[in-house]
Amino acid sequence: MSQSEETNKFKLFNDPIYGFIAIPSELIFDLIEHPFFQRLRRIGQLGLSSLVYPGAYHTRFHHALGAMHLTQKAISVLQSKGHNISKSESESVQVAILLHDIGHGPFSHALEHTLIDDITHESLSLMLMQRLNNEMKGKLTEAIQIFTNKHPKRFLYQLVSSQLDMDRLDYLKRDAFYTGVVEGSINSERLISMLNIANGELVLDNKGVSSVQKFLVSRSLMYWQVYMHKAVLCAENMLVKLLSRAHEIAQIDETMFGGKELLFFLINRPSKKEFESNPNILNLFTQLDDSDILAAMKQWRNHKDFILSDLSSRLLDRKLFQIKFLPEKINSDKRNYLEKSISDSMGITLIDSRYFILEGTASNSTYVSNKEEIKILNREGNVIPLSAASEILPLSVYSHTLTRPFVCWPKEIKWTD
């Protein structure tokens, strides 16, 4: 490779959050250029949140680059505090965070268990990393060790996945920026500057405790204002119902519109075992993105099946269902009333009316204190869990899991208490 070709791989991205983001190595440049990663440009970071926050059109591509950038900063901070992190380890942890979301499907979390069966996006990310590792002759081996928590330096894994990882630090700040929810913005630079290592684990210097408190408050606010917003919950559950109906129709309608890849997943809904045994399924998955679903919905709105047509039209035109949070799950009398009202109003069967009643539970676990806690390096040089740090508000404020059952139904059907 000539010097000019080599230099050409060290480019800059201009990011609205952090300014210029540097590509630090040829390997990372090649990964960003790969079609698997470029697909993330066509996967929205926040699913259907743009129906509530019009600016929320940023993508998984943006987020992955931002998380990699913060990881660069974190490595520099840790090295400046005297911790030995080799060039290889630095590159590998950046690769791990860059690719941590590469297995997301269309509309991110909304369809994780709809087009595919019994497989998470984390599992798909690992499969794609292993595929890339084969293509690149083992250059991702160390990154995969970090991603799967098998690297001897555990703090590298914690930079990628923990209660204070670079993934969360980027998506909170980025999502707050693009939605305009200023309460969710965090001071990621301050938090990163407080990072340290003790006993081989990632810790935070004592001076960072107040910043963690702000981080937890921001995360809680973002959950209920953005991630669990009532209209977003409703829209995402409508999309799940729509794809569930499309799965049924695809079994009997050979003329149903859809790209080759989308129709394959609608008809088959492959499981993790099938992904592992048939490499072609993973190839098909890497061709799926948000545009496949949107293009299909535009055609399905004219489909002869009423349910498929009606749900497609409602989502495309933002005619969302009514949503109501309940003190407990909807009882059978209320559900029967809704089914009968929808059946009579729409002229459909009671069984089909169930496509227009969406039930679920919204929950917010801001800080899970019974799992691996954020560790604080106190003034005496001891490592203590965040729950034992005296300067912070009682962690019960953040560690309590708030669970709220909800039900959605067409607005034209009146709810009676």
Residue 112 belongs to some domain of the structure: no
Q: 387 versus 287: which is more confidently predicted?
A: 287
pLDDT at 58: 96
pLDDT tens per residue across span 341-379: 999 999 999 999 999 999 999 887 777 666 688 999 998
pLDDT tens per residue across span 389-417: 756 566 666 666 778 899 999 999 988 76
pLDDT at 402: 78
Residue 348 belongs to some domain of the structure: yes
Q: 417 versus 142: which is more confidently predicted?
A: 142
Same domain, 392 and 334: no
CA angle (107 as vertex; 102, 109 as ends), nearest 5: 75
Same domain, 67 and 200: yes
pLDDT at 394: 66
pLDDT at 396: 64
pLDDT tens per residue across span 226-260: 999 999 999 999 999 999 999 999 999 989 999 99
pLDDT at 2: 42
Q: Is the pLDDT of residue 125 over 70?
A: yes
Q: In what order do the strands lie in the sheet with 358-364?
A: 322-325, 402-409, 358-364
CATH number at residue 336: 1.20.1250.30
The radius of gyration computed from the CA coordinates of the chain, to the nearest angstrom, equals 23
pLDDT tens per residue across span 252-293: 998 999 999 999 999 999 999 999 999 999 999 999 999 999
Q: Which of the four pLDDT bands, split at 50, 70 and 90, describes residue 6?
A: low
Strands 375-377 and 201-205: parallel
Same domain, 20 and 83: yes
Q: Which of the four pLDDT bands, split at 50, 70 and 90, describes residue 145?
A: very high
Same domain, 205 and 353: no
Number of compact structural domains in the chain? 2
Identify the sign of the CA torsion 384, 387, 388, 391. positive
Q: Which of the four pLDDT bands, split at 50, 70 and 90, describes residue 165?
A: very high
pLDDT at 4: 41
Same domain, 151 and 44: yes
Residue 290 belongs to some domain of the structure: no
pLDDT tens per residue across span 304-326: 999 999 999 999 999 999 999 99
Q: Domain containing 50: what range? A: 3-99+140-227+374-396
CATH number at residue 47: 1.10.3210.10
Same domain, 406 and 391: no
Q: Is the pLDDT of residue 16 over 90?
A: yes
Closest by CA position to 147, among listed 174, 172, 123: 123
